[in-house]
Structure 1
């Protein structure tokens, strides 16, 4: 009977029945040390980036690209888009004490600078950040998070980060996981260095720089008219050099002195416009490639784009911005996890640092809610929180109907004593009260009959009384309540008499 299992090596077979008892299930099988692919000599794992391998350099070659106006401008744009997001701590399952502790600690940090340094990770692939710890009462927290140059660090064959220390030699110094966190973009086992976006800008930026140089030379050569001097055939070299000096001075100062038997002719460089367009097209192509690499689109930066294409391009950039924000959040959450582990224990849930885009408030919805509120609608706190993304504590407790000064007289406390009021009611004709009540309530009744639900009824009431403010509406409702109360008293009295 064949056993069901797995060959973990050419000479070792582990059956599924023994898998639970095996102690090697959490160990790597396919590793660099066991691979025969070659190229893994020493502890240093070279950066597999093809640009760096071809140039034989480290990522400092990418830092030079930021001096380019186009690349540097796109870098600033990407960082600014992340910094413009809303950000803060979400408690989640963390205890309130832990959430307050982390929030107070983050308040003392220069988060704008820290986020800018963490955003170098998408540019260079990885960005090590050193944690500078300090005691705070009975606790221990990082005083600052400092981004260190990525070229100072490398990964070994086990994908562990190492510092290029002078004392450690070629093997480097293994990093302390409590002292460093690493922000990375698209890091894998095969490439722990991550993917640098600036690698996509290297050749376009290089060709753009070279093309601009040749374009300048072309402009200097063909942009100005040619000044041609003619001298007699029997002139010697000295006379020829003197004429050339005079022509050179003429180009600079537009004044020249030449012999009377010599002539000067000015010729425009015609027919070179097509050659100039070749350089222009090269530069525009390189610009487009850099914009696509950094922003995901080239519509918002090209002169021939329209509003629709620019809007579509901006939506693509939003995805890249959210990816950059995710890298920042992951690095900060790793740091928060270390702080919670050292101060409260590894089994305590940690709050999460998040970045999000502020949602725009629907003006139509806000105007409708304003009109309904002014008409007397009382929305619940749950509605305000759900509709306008409010949090607990943002809304003040609304006064109850019994505490409201406008409706405190809803039961219509008589200004006179009860006996005088009863006498006044007895002296009023029932027909007069009924006529006044019908005239006052007619607009309201008509609006309620036309409405299909409560919201539409309040809207119709606002249309029926466009000039009435909330105070007038409250007074009108109080009068109606008084009439209804009085009519009820008369009806009850008539019933008793009958």
Structure 2
């Protein structure tokens, strides 16, 4: 029997798999959002969040949608976190110790996923970051003999309710809601903290800074409107009629904006200095709210402009590493859902008999490309030191793909090793015998090569360093030997070593000329 990731059996009718469940519940789609952010007060906010904990989540998620729409800072910071997921490469991996058939199945399912718009699917699933969950309806269709989702549609969270922590579609005919059909939904639940689903989304923590920020922005607008203009004071003479007073009042009210007006003769308007208020408390409150929003969403403030005064390059890098940790954690949660609720149903419908532990796994590539220069310097030394480093590991760390069996590969240039002196003499002799003009005399070559062996160089070095070696034998410390080396440098018999080095350079130059 075919079952989905929750153990629910295959629908009894194939049409249930092909049709959209929400199409039969037209009352949901026709309901207009109530936008609870309008006139939102702290008391109303408490009522909304308390109702969500009892399973009535519609108002809470309509409020969350308003927050992303109205608060540009929340929209931008949350967008960074969502788009970071879309920038990752993904692949479908066979299970551990996969057989040839399992590897082939993983490749086949990867082709099925390529036929879907995975970028849009992943973006819609990432909506769970703020709301705590995201639901995508998934009707199926057959392409030849292969069952594939024909589309995946994001459904607003306000279309759902929780009954005993089970997500259900709201229904006008059933107060407990309609159970979600197996194989027809992807429900990604993102946990930013432990708890029941209505409380785990980021927006539960963001809602209070959102409210305080909106109060501050409103108060700042009122301050600028009232205290940004001078006080206008109208004076009317004794005995003025009500009509004259009303005319003066209209002139006083409009002169601040139109900078023009008329009043009856004998009346006057005086401009008083504005009150000594300041916008700084309101601006500080807005900045506090945005810093808090950045911390909640991205784990810090130094990757945004919200805390520019205290930002440093080093701290910015630390906060950027925190963002990578969040991205990786988000990606792992997302990959588990795709494997269980998209890949597994595909395998079940098209390749029945596969057990969950042998199902291909959806994975994001979270490996950071290492410094090529750093690895080029360190890997040869580590290998020479005896470390057994798998080639596949090096390719993975550097994000360099392994070449195929018949695929051309880059090859290291073949370096010609230094030729022995005898080989040098032999090649010079051959060139002389052939009648070529030699770059130097054969005798000079023979003499240059005489004595160029390891023993001669060691003897010359020992003779030159004899005073220092003797001092070390007499018990001198390394520091004393170093000082002595500096004092005796001019007195050291370096002639033998100098002559040997000159001859080595001469032979090397000669070999280069002949080889060229």
Aligning the two structures, in what range does the TM-score lie when normalised by the shorter sequence?
Answer: 0.5 to 0.7
The partner residue of 2:223 within 203, 214, 218 is: 218
Q: Does residue 78 in structure 1 map to residue 84 in structure 2? A: no
TM-score, normalisation: structure 2? 0.62
Deviation, structure 1 residue 112: 1.0
Counterparts of 1:107-118 in structure 2 under 5 Å? 107-118=114-125
The partner residue of 2:288 within 268, 285, 290 is: 285
The partner residue of 2:235 within 222, 230, 233 is: 230
Q: Does residue 392 in structure 1 map to residue 365 in structure 2? A: no
- Counterparts of 2:192 and 2:267, CA distance in 1: 73
For the structure 1 residues 74 and 398, does the alpha-carbon distance in structure 2 shift closer, same or farther, using more than 3 Å as the test? closer
For the structure 1 residues 329 and 194, does the alpha-carbon distance in structure 2 shift closer, same or farther, using more than 3 Å as the test? farther
Cα pair 1:51 1:199 within 8 Å, conserved: no
For the structure 1 residues 434 and 284, does the alpha-carbon distance in structure 2 shift closer, same or farther, using more than 3 Å as the test? same
For the structure 1 residues 362 and 246, does the alpha-carbon distance in structure 2 shift closer, same or farther, using more than 3 Å as the test? same
Greater Cα offset, 288-297 or 63-72: 288-297
Cα pair 2:192 2:200 within 8 Å, conserved: yes
Corresponding residue SS for 2:181: coil
Question: What is the Cα-based RMSD across aligned positions, in Å?
Answer: 4.7
Q: Does residue 362 in structure 1 map to residue 371 in structure 2? A: yes
Greater Cα offset, 280-289 or 68-77: 280-289
Partner of 2:13: none
The partner residue of 1:121 within 109, 117, 128 is: 128
- Counterparts of 1:400 and 1:250, CA distance in 2: 83
Deviation, structure 1 residue 229: 2.5
Q: Does residue 151 in structure 1 map to residue 158 in structure 2? A: yes
Partner of 1:352: 361
- Counterparts of 1:262 and 1:422, CA distance in 2: 120
- Counterparts of 1:171 and 1:264, CA distance in 2: 67
Q: Which runs of 5+ in 2 are unaligned?
A: 1-46, 382-388, 420-428, 462-507
Deviation, structure 1 residue 333: 1.0
- Counterparts of 2:359 and 2:292, CA distance in 1: 42
Counterparts of 1:470-481 in structure 2 under 5 Å? none
For the structure 1 residues 113 and 365, does the alpha-carbon distance in structure 2 shift closer, same or farther, using more than 3 Å as the test? same
Cα pair 1:140 1:339 within 8 Å, conserved: yes
For the structure 1 residues 135 and 264, does the alpha-carbon distance in structure 2 shift closer, same or farther, using more than 3 Å as the test? closer
Cα pair 2:81 2:327 within 8 Å, conserved: yes
The partner residue of 1:98 within 102, 105, 127 is: 105
Greater Cα offset, 202-211 or 131-140: 131-140
Q: What are the Cα deviations for residues 210-251 of structure 1, in whole angstroms up to 9, with x where unaligned?
A: 322222122111110112222323333333223333334533
Deviation, structure 1 residue 115: 0.7
Q: Which runs of 5+ in 1 are unaligned?
A: 1-46, 373-378, 411-419, 451-472, 483-498
Q: Does residue 177 in structure 1 map to residue 170 in structure 2? A: no
For the structure 1 residues 204 and 431, does the alpha-carbon distance in structure 2 shift closer, same or farther, using more than 3 Å as the test? same
- Counterparts of 1:186 and 1:362, CA distance in 2: 34
TM-score, normalisation: structure 1? 0.64
Corresponding residue SS for 2:238: coil
Instruction: Give aligned pairs, total.
Output: 388
Corresponding residue SS for 2:401: coil
Q: Does residue 130 in structure 1 map to residue 137 in structure 2? A: yes
- Counterparts of 1:210 and 1:192, CA distance in 2: 29
For the structure 1 residues 399 and 476, does the alpha-carbon distance in structure 2 shift closer, same or farther, using more than 3 Å as the test? farther
